[in-house]
Structure 1
Amino acid sequence: MQERATVGRGAATRQRRADAERSIEAILDATLKETPANGELNMSAIARAAGVSRVTLYTHFPTREALVDAALQRGFAQTQQALSELALEDGPPRQVLAQLLRSSWQVVERHRNLYMVASANLPPAQLRAYAEPVLGRVERLLARGRSEGEFRADLPLDWLVATVYTLMHLGAQQVATGRASADRAGELVSLTIMTLLTSPPGCGRIEPQASL
């Protein structure tokens, strides 16, 4: 009898854990999809969209900041997944960069409202830290392009990577504030980045230790 009771408690615990995981997944998905353009994240609206109670929502995410933080990590993970499907080490660097920008922009644009909320609720250093795995891929591609003479080498590599990051989020902000359509902003972001990275006439390579 005791053994049956122990087995029963174990099964109940696993069921509760599975239920909790499903609730968390539903909440994060709803946050990514339902964050409004005005940046006002409504916890009750998120709970309704996720199909859970407010009590369940606050059990898993006690504060707005905790929810934004977790959803943002999920958003960047999706960006990383999208980029992992690209062969960044193969092909002409300019062509690969164009593919990378298209894939990145699709994810950034999809979650632009959440990024606006995150910018208002989380420290800039924390936001940048979540982007580091993605930016690492960008940096490796730019470094390869510089070594092959495809991209400019008169500016520090870390500055160029930071500029790519900033321009992507500037594009998302333009869409969120209604100053540009998603398609137009994506075109402008890609054109600006590609133009910026093109080596100017007479541009020579710089030594790796050069930095700001």
Structure 2
Amino acid sequence: MRGPPIVERGTTVVDDVHEVAPRKRADARRNITAIVEAATRCLADDPDVSMATIAKAAGVGRMTLYGHFESRSSLVAVAVEHALDRAEAELSAVDLGGDPYEAMGRLLDASWEVTFRNGGLVQAAENALSPALLQRAHTQLVDRAKSLLRRGRRDGRFRRDMPLDWQVTAIQSLLHGAATAVHQGTITPARAPGLVKATALTTLAVPGQRLE
């Protein structure tokens, strides 16, 4: 019969536990990943979702969830970081070169996907996160849009008779308004991105300019 694990001075555990510890760490990593992904999805659908619901969606028990995240706010913070990292990767991949008008259309398409997917996650973040993390969430689109708007205004592709910051605010409001309309059922998810792009580009275009 095999004896108990051997313990030596100055180390933790050897023999059997050398096999168990890596397996436990791997299980913990899988649980954390499942919890964060479940939290991201659940919070996007309902910013007030309970920890019990998130645990169920992740396929873990509440004890396991709280073993990795001691509070709801700590889980929300990690979920938002996860969503922001994904959004940053998607927005960074958008080609903003060439004609500013066409580039803005591509940025709007990508921004809509991010906005609609994250949904209530932003609202949950506003109730639980630090100003620094909230600022990061709001500047992902803003910085890109401002840079593109400046270039388009210089090239005569975007109107200059209104403040640039107001144009950015209008884009953000349109994206969030469209997401709300989809959730309320007044427009369909399939139609929303086209409406967002058409409305935003029409608003930004120089009056009398031919839209292409």
TM over 0.5: yes
Q: Matches of 1:124 and 1:199 in 2, distance apart?
A: 36
Q: Matches of 1:196 and 1:44 in 2, distance apart?
A: 44
Q: 143, 149, 169: which is aligned to 2:150?
A: 143
- Residue number in structure 1 paired with 2:4: none
Q: 130, 141, 155: which is aligned to 1:134?
A: 141
Alignment of 1:35-184 (within 5 A): 35=43, 37=45, 39-88=47-96, 90-119=97-126, 127-184=134-191
Tell me whether 91-100 or 1-10 shows the greater mean CA deviation: 1-10
Report deviation, 1:43: 1.3
Tell me whether 170-179 or 1-10 shows the greater mean CA deviation: 1-10
Q: Matches of 1:30 and 1:150 in 2, distance apart?
A: 42
TM-score when normalising by structure 1: 0.77
Q: Matches of 2:175 and 2:129 in 1, distance apart?
A: 18
Structure 1 residues 140 and 148: alpha-carbon distance in aligned structure 2, compared to 1, 3 A threshold: same
Structure 1 residues 61 and 192: alpha-carbon distance in aligned structure 2, compared to 1, 3 A threshold: farther
Asked if the contact 1:27/1:50 (under 8 Å) is kept, the reply is yes
Tell me whether 91-100 or 58-67 shows the greater mean CA deviation: 58-67
TM-score when normalising by structure 2: 0.77
Asked if the contact 1:93/1:144 (under 8 Å) is kept, the reply is yes
Tell me whether 16-25 or 138-147 shows the greater mean CA deviation: 16-25
Asked if the contact 1:43/1:54 (under 8 Å) is kept, the reply is yes
Structure 1 residues 5 and 67: alpha-carbon distance in aligned structure 2, compared to 1, 3 A threshold: closer
Aligned CA-pair RMSD: 3.2
Between the aligned residues of both structures, percent identity stands at 36
Asked if the contact 1:75/1:111 (under 8 Å) is kept, the reply is yes
**Secondary structure of 2:64's partner?**
helix
2:140 counterpart letter in structure 1 = P
1:73 counterpart letter in structure 2 = E
2:31 counterpart letter in structure 1 = S
Unmatched tracts of structure 2, length 5 or more: 1-6
Q: Matches of 1:123 and 1:175 in 2, distance apart?
A: 29
Report deviation, 1:159: 2.5
Asked if the contact 1:79/1:134 (under 8 Å) is kept, the reply is no
Asked if the contact 1:36/1:113 (under 8 Å) is kept, the reply is yes
Between Structure 1 and Structure 2, how many residues are aligned?
201
Which of the two has higher C-alpha Rg? 2
* Per-residue Cα deviation, 1:19-39 (whole angstroms, up to 9, x for no partner): 443322211211222347454
Q: Matches of 1:176 and 1:75 in 2, distance apart?
A: 19
